[in-house]
Amino acid sequence: MNTQFRKGLGFGLTSGIITTLGLIVGLDASTGSKFVVVSGIIAIAIADSCSDALGMHISEESTYNRTTAQIWEATISTFLFKLSFALLFVIPFLLLEIQTALLICIIAGYLIVSGYSYYLAAKTKQKAYKVMLEHVLIMTAVIAITYFVGKATAMFL
């Protein structure tokens, strides 16, 4: 797997999962509506995938020694991975009750991010538990914060 493709995968996977889980948890905490959650997932999958792909594109353009093909490979892979991982979370909400779907999404998110973190640690010869713990703690912070913001929003609006 080449560097540009790996960048797109790593960025798209982590950002797609963590951003979407934050959105899901926040919207569920504030509305409890399956329709709102699914609509939010689709909206953020499209908007944030485009935004992050452009961010990757500009970041790669600002890096020396990148060919046009390398820049576009990182851009397109970021978009596709971010979109795919974000939209993956629609499936449980289409098939299950909202609270079950939410739980499955959170568990799946932790498993995918932990698995990729383990892969990264092995590839870079770092201690797996340190890399995994760092990523899981950040993910947990995002989920907790968005939950409390969702609850607060529901109380005040």
Tally Cβ neighbours within 10 Å of residue 120: 17
Rounded to whole angstroms, the Cα distance separating 131 from 147 reads 25
The pLDDT value given to residue 15: 94
**Which of 94, 98, 93 lies closest to 32 in space, CA to CA?**
98
Token representation of residue 115: 């698995």
The DSSP annotation for 91-151 comes to HHHHHS-HHHHHHHHHHHHHHHHHHHHHHHHHHHT--HHHHHHHHHHHHHHHHHHHHHHHH
At residue 2, the pLDDT reads 82
Low-confidence stretches of the chain (pLDDT < 70) are 1
Question: Could you give the CA distance from residue 8 to residue 155 in angstroms, rounded to a whole number?
Answer: 38
The answer to whether residues 50 and 79 touch, using CB atoms and an 8 Å cutoff, is yes
Can you give the pTM of this predicted structure? 0.92
As a whole number of angstroms, the distance between CA 93 and CA 89 comes to 7
